[in-house]
Amino acid sequence: MRTLGVGSRRVRTGVGLALSAQGVVERAGDFDLVVVPGLNTPLIEEVEEVLARPEAVRAVRWLRRQHRCGAVVAGSCTGAFLLAEAGLLHGAPATTSWFLAEAFRERYPDVELQADRMVTCAGRVLCGGAALAQMDLMLAVVTRFCGPRLADLVARYLVLDRRPTQARYALTSHLAASTPEVSRAETFVRAHLGEPLRVGAIARAVGTSPRTLARRVARATGLSPLRFVQRLRVEQSVHLLETTDAPFDEVARQVGYAEPAALRRVLRRETGQTARSLRARQAPLGLAR
């Protein structure tokens, strides 16, 4: 295993940590596996600035050559942008940091972005989602090179759970804020969570047509309007379960579910947890009874 820099062995991270690389990509040979780290740039403006730098252009050129020579290339978080810049994701499924999904789609319309996925695999190219999805990506690499049994053993030793989706971690408010109409729709929905909500009513409150609203919501969040409403209901129900002692039936009523069983099913699907396990998370805060 070797750590490489671009143009220099002296590498300074985005938080100022100085690292000494063992070599530079310009003089390195060919590899079986290349792992691209994130760019430590959470804002799309910063990502675009980094991608325009000469060292990023050289890194992209080198990644393209490594892949052409047979290497498996893996990138997580914003590192997926470098893979896309290299053309390694053309027509292929990919994932990246969920909060940069809209910008990724605009910049690389030919890539099949699956922003809710924790890890994607397309031939010899693997992508991981946001930040600590690096762990999931490395388990996928171990599976690829050494098989699922060893990957499972590694996961057990490191106390890692397999997480197929990052959707449960996405902050709907963050995604909605990028589009005025969607932000207004979020405000309206949150104020009426306990009521029956139809797309037409939300569109009228926002001042747009149902079709335009659906297009804006899909672009900003990757969801249909109905799934958008459901996601907000799930977020509020999780908040109530974790911070109050309200009976579950009351929680369901407050977020618009006449049948508590329906909310239980949605919670299990969207969060991977039961209502009881969510409520148990009160314990560290001293709220559970």
Q: Can 4-168 and 171-285 be said to share one CATH topology?
A: no
| Domain range summary for the chain, segments of one domain joined by + | 4-168, 171-285
Beta carbons of 179 and 219 less than 8 angstroms apart? yes
Query: Which distant-in-sequence residues (6+ apart) come within 8 Å of 49 by Cβ?
Result: 41
Instruction: Give the pLDDT score at 168.
Output: 66
The answer to whether residue 221 scores a pLDDT higher than 90 is: no
- Mean pLDDT of the 18-47 span: 87
Superfamily of domain 4-168: Class I glutamine amidotransferase (GATase) domain (3.40.50.880)
Q: pTM of the predicted model, to two decimals?
A: 0.73
CA angle 136, 115, 144 (to 5 degrees): 35
At position 126, the amino acid (one-letter code) is L
Q: What is the pLDDT of residues 63-94, one digit of tens each?
A: 999 999 999 999 999 999 999 999 999 999 99
CATH of 171-285, one of 1.10.10.60, 3.90.79.10, 3.30.70.1060, 1.10.10.10: 1.10.10.60
Q: What is the pLDDT of residues 170-217, one digit of tens each?
A: 677 777 777 888 889 999 999 999 999 999 999 999 999 999 999 989
Burial (0-12, 13-18, 19+ Cβ within 10 Å), 260 = middle
Q: What is the pLDDT of residues 250-274, one digit of tens each?
A: 999 999 999 999 999 999 888 878 8
Q: What is the pLDDT of residues 6-29, one digit of tens each?
A: 888 888 877 788 888 898 988 888
